[in-house]
Amino acid sequence: MARARPALAMVSTAAALLLLLLCAAAFVERGAALQLCTDRLFNNTQGRHNDGLPHLTPTEEATWMALLPRRLRGGGGGGARARAEFDWLALYRSLTRGGGPDDDADAGKPGPGELLTPASLHDVRLHGDDDDDDRVLTGSSSSSAAMYWQAQQTNLEYLLYLDPDRLTWTFRRQAGLPTVGDPYGGWEAPGGQLRGHFTGHYLSASAHMWAATHNSTLRERMTRVVDILYDCQKKMGTGYLAAYPETMFDLYEQLDEAWSPYYTIHKIMQGLLDQYMLASNKKGLDVVVWMTDYFSNRVKNLIQKYTIQRHWEAMNEETGGFNDVMYQLYTITKNQKHLTMAHLFDKPCFLGPLGLHKDDISGLHVNTHLPVIIGTQKRYEVVGDHLYKDISTYLFDVVNSSHTFATGGTSTMEHWHDPKRLVDEIKISSNEETCATYNFLKVSRNLFRWTKEAKYADHYERLLINGIMGNQRGTQPGVMLYFLPMGPGRSKSVSGLSPSGLPPKNPGGWGGPNDTFWCCYGTGIESFSKLGDSIYFLEEGEAPGLYIIQYIPSTFDWKATGLTVNQQAKPLLSTDPFFKVSLTFSAKGDAQLAKVSVRIPSWTSTDGTTATLNGQKLNLTSTGNSTNGGFLTVTKLWAEDTLTLQFPITLRTEAIKDDRPEYASIQAVLFGPHLLAGLTHGKLPVTDSNHSNDGLTPSIWEVNATSATAVTDWVTPLPSETLNSQLVTLTQTAGGRTLVLSVSIADAKLEMQEQPAPGTDACVHATFRVYGQAGSSSSESLLPMQGPNVTIEPFDRPGMAVTNGLLAVGRPAGGRDTLFNAVPGLDGAPGSVSLELATRPGCFVATAPAAGANAATQVVCRGNKNNGGSASGDGAALRRAASFVRAAPLRRYNPLSFAARGTARNFLLEPLRSLQDEFYTVYFSLVVSDAGS
pLDDT digits (tens, 9 = 90+) for 313-332: 899 889 999 999 999 999 99
Of 49-63, 137-151, 266-280, 359-373, the least confident: 49-63
- Mean pLDDT is lowest, of 67-71, 105-109, 195-199, 809-813, for 67-71
String of DSSP letters for 379-446: HHHHH--HHHHHHHHHHHHHHHHHSB-TTS-B-BTTB--STTBHHHHHTSS-BS-HHHHHHHHHHHHH
Q: Does 526 have pLDDT greater than 50?
A: yes
Q: Where are the alpha helices (DSSP H) in 124-196?
A: 147-161, 164-167, 169-175
Arithmetic mean of pLDDT, 82-91: 34
Q: Are 844 and 837 in contact (CB under 8 A)?
A: yes
In contact, 723 and 893? CB cutoff 8 Å: yes
pLDDT at 19 > cutoff 70: no
Output the pLDDT for position 59: 72
Where do the CATH 2.80.10.50 domains begin and end in the chain?
720-775+783-861+876-887
Beta bridge partners of 741: 752
CA distance 385 to 405: 31
pLDDT for res 43: 54
Delimit the CATH 2.60.40 region(s) of the chain. Answer: 536-570+577-648
**Residue spans of beta strands (DSSP E) within 464-516:** 490-491
How sure is the predictor about 699, in pLDDT bands with cuts at 50, 70 and 90? confident
Over pLDDT 70: what percentage of the chain? Answer: 80
Class of CATH domain 536-570+577-648: mainly beta
Categorize the per-residue pLDDT at 83 as very low, low, confident or very high, splitting at 50, 70 and 90: very low
Residue 777 has pLDDT above 70, yes or no: no
pLDDT at 681: 78
Looking at residue 625, its pLDDT comes to 55
Contact between residue 11 and residue 17 where contact means Cβ atoms under 8 Å apart: yes
For the residues 658-685, what does the mean pLDDT come to?
A: 89
pLDDT band at 55; cut points 50, 70, 90: low
Buried b or exposed e, range 833-865, using 16+ CB within 10 angstroms: bbbbbbebeebbbbbeeeeeeebbbbbbbbeee
172 by DSSP, 3-state: which?
helix
Assess whether pLDDT exceeds 70 at residue 72.
no
Which of 6-10, 716-720, 737-741 shows the lowest mean pLDDT across its residues?
A: 6-10
For the segment 405-443, what is each residue's pLDDT rounded down to a tens digit? 999 999 998 999 999 999 999 988 889 999 999 999 999
**pLDDT score recorded for residue 438:** 98
Which stretch of 277-281, 638-642, 800-804 has the lowest confidence by average pLDDT?
Answer: 800-804
pLDDT band at 877 (very low <50, low <70, confident <90, very high): confident
Query: What's the confidence (pLDDT) of residue 2?
Result: 29
pLDDT tens per residue, range 234-293: 999 999 999 999 999 999 999 998 999 999 999 999 999 999 999 999 999 999 999 999
What pLDDT is recorded for position 95?
A: 57
Higher-confidence position of 879 and 108 = 879
Inform me whether the pLDDT recorded for 688 exceeds 60: no
Mean pLDDT of 891-898: 97
719 Cβ partners below 8 Å, 6+ apart? Answer: 573, 574, 575
Are 193 and 244 a contacting pair, CB within 8 Å?
Answer: yes
Q: What is the Cα–Cα distance from 243 to 245, expressed in whole angstroms?
A: 7
pLDDT class for 508, splitting at 50, 70, 90? confident
Query: Which residues, in sequence order, are CB contacts of 265 under 8 Å at separation 6+?
Result: 242, 291, 295, 320, 322
Mean pLDDT of all residues belonging to the chain: 84
Mean pLDDT of 744-760: 90
> Does the pLDDT of residue 70 top 70, yes or no?
no
Query: Is pLDDT at 137 greater than 80 in this prediction?
Result: no
Least confident of 271-275, 305-309, 505-509, 814-818: 505-509
39: three-class secondary structure by DSSP: coil
Percent of all residues in the chain with a pLDDT value above 90, rounded to a whole number:
64
* 145 band by pLDDT with thresholds 50, 70 and 90: low
Mean pLDDT score, 216-242: 98
Q: Which residue has the higher pLDDT, 78 or 570?
A: 570
Surface-to-core class of residue 224, CB atoms within 10 Å of its CB (0-12 exposed, 13-18 middle, 19+ buried): middle
User: CA 624 to CA 613: how far, in whole Å?
Assistant: 13
d(CA 395, CA 30): 27
- Which residue has better confidence, 457 or 45? 457
pLDDT digits (tens, 9 = 90+) for 527-578: 999 999 999 999 998 899 999 999 999 999 999 999 999 999 999 999 999 9
Q: Three-class SS of residue 693?
A: coil
Strands 855-861 and 750-754 come out as antiparallel
**pLDDT tier at 807, thresholds 50, 70, 90:** confident
Residue 74 DSSP code: S
Higher pLDDT residue, 874 or 795? 795
Q: Is the pLDDT of residue 167 over 60?
A: yes
pLDDT at residue 370 tops 80: yes
Confidence of residue 112 (pLDDT cuts 50, 70, 90): low
pLDDT value of residue 146: 86
Architecture of domain 720-775+783-861+876-887: Trefoil (2.80)
- CA-to-CA distance for 188 and 479, rounded, in angstroms? 16
Closest CA to 600 of 626, 635, 624: 626
